[in-house]
Structure 1
Amino acid sequence: MVFLDIEMQGNVVVPPDQLDSKGLLLRKGIILRLLEDIAGRKASKEHGYYIAVTTLNSVAEGRVQELTGSVGFPVSFRCITLKPCKGEILVGIVDKVLRHGIFLKSGPIENIFLSEKKMQDYKFIMTEDPSFVNDKQQSKMEYGSRVRFKVLGIKWMEWDRGFQMLATLAGDFLGPI
């Protein structure tokens, strides 16, 4: 996954109970609200997953919202994001094992599907703990296993505010670790 350092602009709304006439406490309130807003956004199609706000570059003059008494501050800040890319090699943890494939998690991405058709020489074994087994290499993929895979495709899901991925084991040194 690619880490990006991006500059963003936005509006931070500070409720009246967090406002204080002392500049330092007001700046603290703005930073706390900015961090809450970024955490609530989770990700965007353009930037990827929001990881951390690194700097608060500027805070413009606030405007009072008459109905609520809150104050909106236009802000400029830098943020670290994480964006998945097609073709890259990642490591994921097996989250679910189904007859037709495996669901993996890797970092903030919780929806990665590895189809049985993209796992050469692996066979589904239905036991108390279902798994995919390769008799030639004596390897096994089951719940909790770490798997190195290649990203085959990526799709942005607006309703979930996250990415879905398709994975493959076609390539050298891919599979259970």
Structure 2
Amino acid sequence: MVFLEAQLSWTVLIPPESLFAEGLKLQQAIVLRLLEEVSCRKASKELGYFVAVTSLESVGEGQLQELTGNVIFPITFRCVTFKPLKGEVLVGAIRKVLRHGIMLAAGPLEGVFLSAKAMGDGYEYLPRDEPVFLSEKLSRLESGGAVRFKVLGLKWMEEDREFQVLATMAADFLGPLISDDD
């Protein structure tokens, strides 16, 4: 996974009940509001997923909204981001086994689909109470397992503010990871 640090400029809205005369409490209210904003926005098409705010660089002068009493502060901050890239190799946890492939999660990526056709090594779907894909070499893909995969393609979904990823295991050194318990 590739993590990057980006500098961002946003505005945060502080309601009147969070405004205090003491500067430290005001800065605390701004930081808390920023963290809420980051978790609500979740990701952007250009930068990927917002993982963690690392520093608050500057807080500009607040602008009062006369009708509501809210104050809008322009801020600049640094944030660690994660954006999947085509061709990148990642490790994902198998969340669900379906007839036509498996759904994986890798870090903040929840929508990773590995098609049965992109598995390679002759995997066959076995419908059971807990369905599984089994290969000719007896390696298994089942819920709770982990797999190393390569990103074939990705698509930004603006409505959900997340990426959908199409994955493959059809390359060297890709496939299920064996746990120490096996």
Q: TM-score, normalised by structure 2?
A: 0.94
Give the equivalent residue in structure 1 for 2:34. 34
Displacement of 1:36: 0.7
Task: Find the aligned partners of 1:138 and 1:97 in 2 and give their Cα distance.
Answer: 17
Give the equivalent residue in structure 2 for 1:2. 2
Percent of counterpart pairs with the same letter? 56
Give the equivalent residue in structure 2 for 1:108. 108
Could you list the runs of 5+ residues in structure 1 that have no partner in the other structure? none
Secondary structure at the counterpart of residue 40 of structure 1: helix
Give the equivalent residue in structure 1 for 2:58. 58
Displacement of 1:57: 1.0
Counterpart residue type for residue 143 of structure 1: S
Task: Find the aligned partners of 1:119 and 1:23 in 2 and give their Cα distance.
Answer: 57
Task: Find the aligned partners of 1:98 and 1:55 in 2 and give their Cα distance.
Answer: 42
Task: Find the aligned partners of 2:25 and 2:129 in 1 and give their Cα distance.
Answer: 56
Task: Find the aligned partners of 1:94 and 1:55 in 2 and give their Cα distance.
Answer: 34
Task: Find the aligned partners of 1:3 and 1:132 in 2 and give their Cα distance.
Answer: 32
Give the equivalent residue in structure 1 for 2:180. none
Alignment of 1:1-177 (within 5 A): 1-120=1-120, 121-135=122-136, 137-177=137-177
Displacement of 1:141: 0.4
Q: Deviations over 1:120-160 (max 9, x none)?
A: 2100111111110012x221001111111111101100011
Q: TM-score, normalised by structure 1?
A: 0.97
How many residues are paired up? 176
Task: Find the aligned partners of 2:99 and 2:75 in 1 and give their Cα distance.
Answer: 50
RMSD between aligned residues: 0.8
Displacement of 1:76: 0.9
Q: Deviations over 1:76-120 (max 9, x none)?
A: 111111111111111111111111111111110001111111112
Task: Find the aligned partners of 2:2 and 2:130 in 1 and give their Cα distance.
Answer: 34
